[in-house]
């Protein structure tokens, strides 16, 4: 089993889907979550991890003088836990180039839009403003350029006429909870490999 570290900033619903999937033997994810790190104390995601008996650490970005030093503190925790793969599950910090290069190919994020549309922290607001009838979510490798890494998995989700940010978010999250464990399975079972040119090699 590959050892996974999950980085969170909030409620941890995607963390929960990863916990549930990795503990369901019938899904053959090939991974176990060994540590959950939050940059914010007292968030619901930490309680989910504790309830599941998973080690939790709070690394507050406000305790560090620079982004690099904050990221280095996270890397120390990940190394100490023996982590192979890092999953960003609602983690709301931009990662430094050093961190991204160190974990490159073993670092994935779930984003709530069909990338390359609607990058950034306001995907649902931007999708509604654009009037698209289809949105969705994307699991991608993390590159220094935000929300621009190679795409591992996507799911399409309809936008309904009276959708609000909240109602759209809720519908898209259902799809996130399905494709994030799937993408982790591809990586943990070595069905995908990130190449130097940012393409993905698929092994079936
Ligand atoms: N970092 C890199 N590349 C990526 N982080 C995430 C994805 C991803 C990444 O593809 N290099 C919003 C971040 C957007 C933002 O501006 N955050 C602020 C802090 C805001 C806060 O603490 O609430 C910041 O300075 O980082 C994960 C998703 C990032 C979401």
Residue 16 to residue 20: CA distance in whole angstroms: 6
In DSSP notation, 144-197 reads: SSTT-SPEEEEEEEEPPTT--HHHHHHHHHHHHHHHHHHHHHHHHTTSEEE-TT
CB count within 10 Å of CB 123 equals 25
Residue 69 to residue 83: CA distance in whole angstroms: 19
Is it the case that residue 152 has pLDDT exceeding 90?
yes
1 touches 30 (CB < 8 A): yes
Percent of the chain residues topping a pLDDT of 70: 100
Probe residue for ligand 1, chosen from 104, 111, 146 as the CB with the greatest number of ligand atoms within 8 Å: 146
Q: Which residues pair with 21 in a beta bridge?
A: none
**Structure confidence by residue, pLDDT tens digits, 108-129:** 999 999 999 999 999 999 999 9
Under the banding of pLDDT at 50, 70 and 90, the label for residue 204 is: confident
Measured from the Cα of 40, ligand 1's closest atom is 22
36 Cα–ligand 1 center, Å? 17
Measured from the Cα of 111, ligand 1's closest atom is 28
Is it the case that residue 186 has pLDDT exceeding 90?
yes
**Residue 100, preceding peptide bond in cis (omega within 30° of 0):** no
Which two three-digit tokens encode residue 135?
């949105």
52 Cα–ligand 1 center, Å? 26
Residue 91 to residue 72: CA distance in whole angstroms: 16
pTM over 0.90, yes/no = yes
Instruction: Provide the 8-state DSSP code for 94.
Output: P
- Taking residues 172-176, what's their average pLDDT? 98
Ligand 1 site residues (CB inside 6 A) read: 88, 91-95, 100, 109, 121, 142-144, 146-147, 149
């Amino acid at each position: 089993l590959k050892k996974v570290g999950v980085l969170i900033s909030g409620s941890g619903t995607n963390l929960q889907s990863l916990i549930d999937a990795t503990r369901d033997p019938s899904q053959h994810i090939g991974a176990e979550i060994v540590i959950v790190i939050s940059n914010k104390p007292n968030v619901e995601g930490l309680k989910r991890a504790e309830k599941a008996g998973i080690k939790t650490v709070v690394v507050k970005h406000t305790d560090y003088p620079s982004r690099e030093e904050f990221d280095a503190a996270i890397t120390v925790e990940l190394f100490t836990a023996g982590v192979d793969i890092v999953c960003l599950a609602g983690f709301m910090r931009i990662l430094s180039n050093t961190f991204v290069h160190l974990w490159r190919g073993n670092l994935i994020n779930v984003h709530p839009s069909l990338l390359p549309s609607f990058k950034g922290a306001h995907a649902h607001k931007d999708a509604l403003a654009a009037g698209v009838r289809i949105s969705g979510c994307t699991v991608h490798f993390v590159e220094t350029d935000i929300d621009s890494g190679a795409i591992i998995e996507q799911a399409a989700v309809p936008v309904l006429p009276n959708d609000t940010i909240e109602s759209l978010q809720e519908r898209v999250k259902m799809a996130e909870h399905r494709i994030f464990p799937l993408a982790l399975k591809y990586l943990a079972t070595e069905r995908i490999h990130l190449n130097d040119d940012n393409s993905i090699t698929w092994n079936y």
